[in-house]
Chains A and B, each alone.
Chain A
């Protein structure tokens, strides 16, 4: 293979093509400007003018709130995370909240869309907005005030602010009552809980800071064993598990799905060295209920409290 000629000429052409290719994504959108596609219908219409009679609800907590407000009659579709209450699961499913299809949503002929923050993809939302369907984003959050905010946002959008205020007050009061006991607990009595999102092939995904799990642990007056050393859900090394010194291991159940047995868990060399192994303290809870941060959060707090502190400190269920 000894061919050499015309490199000068060819390189300049190749470079020109490369430069064009590189530049095009920057230049073309500017050229296209905002004139492409339908003109977005102003979202700033007054709330009472929005027709919410055919509503698509995206996000488990949002759907729960619509039901809790007694406004479920307006729902025509929901996303795949909206599985509670059972009646919601019977509605048409427009797909996973982070992978929505614009035409699929429009096909349910909605007059309005309520979506929890983080729904997407952004392009799909952009298309939905430009289709002139009023769209409201419900802010996500993992504490008491966030739940109140969610309820108020949903209620205002549906034009039932009074009902929403009442519901928000009721839910906030329930949460306050649920957290009142745990707030009084002395720091030295607080248990360390390791929240294990998944436990497969010996690999552990645990909850760090800024997660729904961290939020519910805080509300329940227990210490997240990872102590915010990292954010989000991360794989934990064996040594990090030992270092976290959890008093209780918390596993998630989803509908019909169960983790391994306690024996399997403590056969794991890292878990075997934790304080939790001595007392065989393992908790299994429904992840949708626990991490939803909707109207049922007070119950979730009570359940978690009872599971961790139980009677006479023996937390083994």
Chain B
């Protein structure tokens, strides 16, 4: 597979590693800065919302070991049971989408790769749509067991099935061909979208509206039980993926070169694909379709800190989390007391920004 033009330059720079000591200093500073910014944005998001609940009272009371029962019950519920789980999972989802985009772009050596491209998101969407339409036909016993998790669960299974299918197709004799995977991903995504189309045709108008809103994505209605469902899956992926940094750096030079440098390329691909499917599947399952975070964040960061995955991966996770929190704050504020689907915000802000990066790149590299 041919290397992307901009990544080829990046790889060349990586090869002469000692020539870029200042770059890694910038990268380290950026990661630190993002971490601090993340904490600030997180705390700030706890204090904003349609209601004037005094988050500071709740937080200071908690931090000073005060008892919960002293607080206003409504404030407590808003801060601890509405805003806090939402912010926690929002950060995790933003981080998962962004870091997955970074891994995909590194692995495929293609600056356009994101989890949507290999069919993970379409598979998740198919699962969710199928559940919206067939939920009423499920046996009551099944519904009673899976309950409110039916939709996230279906989306998650959809993501995983499409990824495993993709992986089977692209893997021959224990080797995964990145080119086959990319093409198969496009085909699987198209297939998932087509089946989704059939299901949408079968849907009644109520289900159609549910599907529309699910597709737009939202962090609304996130509860602690959802945090406990999706959170650990995402968290494991967020821990595993940064461990792949050195391998991904080597892969920018080409898989054969990476292999001769002592990187277990096939293992790297296995772990990366499963981790991405888990992270994105769990995220899409909870939040619906939130676009553009996965593709924008890596590009933004490469402009600042360069292509070294050791810094790029943690920085992506942090920036992705921050961006999604900010987008969520906008979504909640703009039409309060109602709220906009967050997917609209990320696409509205993300798409023009992506165009800007593209135009810049065209000027710089003749893309």
Contact = CB atoms under 8 A, between A and B. Distances in A.
Contacts of B174: 4, 7
29 contacts: A3-B259, A5-B264, A6-B267, A7-B174, A7-B175, A13-B271, A17-B271, A17-B275, A17-B278, A18-B164, A20-B233, A29-B225, A29-B229, A32-B229, A36-B224, A36-B225, A37-B224, A38-B76, A95-B335, A98-B213, A101-B337, A104-B336, A106-B77, A106-B82, A107-B51, A107-B52, A123-B223, A127-B221, A131-B81
A232 interface: yes
Interface in A10-32: 10-11, 13-14, 17-18, 20-22, 24-26, 28-29, 31-32
B226 to A, nearest CB: 7
A49 B259 CA distance: 73
A17 to B, nearest CB: 5
B324 interface: no
B256 A14 contact: no
Interface in A59-114: 77, 80, 92-96, 98-109
Contacts of B42: none
Contact of B220 (A106, A108, A124, A130): A124
A157 interface: no
A109 B240 CA distance: 44
A247 B148 CA distance: 46
B122 to A, nearest CB: 18
A101 B338 contact: yes
Interface of B: 1, 49-52, 73-74, 76-78, 81-83, 148-149, 152-153, 156-157, 160, 164, 173-175, 177-178, 201, 203-206, 209-210, 213, 218, 220-226, 228-230, 232-233, 236, 240, 255-256, 259, 264-267, 270-271, 273-275, 277-278, 281-282, 285, 332, 335-339, 341
A107 B266 contact: no
Interface of A: 1-7, 9-11, 13-14, 17-18, 20-22, 24-26, 28-29, 31-32, 36-38, 77, 80, 92-96, 98-109, 118, 120-124, 126-127, 130-132, 197, 210-211, 231-235
Contact of A3 (B82, B175, B232, B332): B175
Contacts of B339: 95, 101, 104
A13 B236 contact: no
B63 to A, nearest CB: 20
A102 B264 contact: no
A38 B50 CA distance: 20
Contacts of B210: 98, 120-121
A102 B271 contact: no
Given A80-B338, A123-B226, 8 more contacts: A3-B259, A17-B278, A25-B156, A25-B285, A38-B81, A77-B337, A99-B218, A232-B205
Nearest to A34: B225
B362 to A, nearest CB: 30
B266 A10 contact: yes
Contacts of A109: 51, 74
A166 B169 CA distance: 68
A103 B148 CA distance: 19
A37 B205 CA distance: 33
A132 B335 CA distance: 25
Contact of B338 (A2, A94, A210, A211): A94
Given A6-B266, A121-B220, A126 B228 contact: no
B256 A2 contact: yes
B347 to A, nearest CB: 17
A36 B229 CA distance: 12
A3 B76 CA distance: 56
Given A3-B175, A5-B266, A123 B81 contact: no
Interface centre among B74, B210, B332, B337 (most CB of A within 10 A): B337
Nearest to B216: A99
A96 B336 contact: no
A94 B74 CA distance: 18
A103 B256 contact: no
Contacts of A94: 337-338
Contact of A21 (B177, B278, B337): B278
Given A7-B266, A10-B266, A101-B50, A107 B220 contact: no
A6 B264 contact: yes
Given A94-B337, A233-B204, A103 B233 contact: no
Given A13-B267, A21-B233, A127 B337 contact: no
B123 to A, nearest CB: 14
B213 to A, nearest CB: 5
A1 B256 contact: yes
Contacts of B51: 103, 106-107, 109
A11 B157 CA distance: 20
Contacts of B201: 234-235
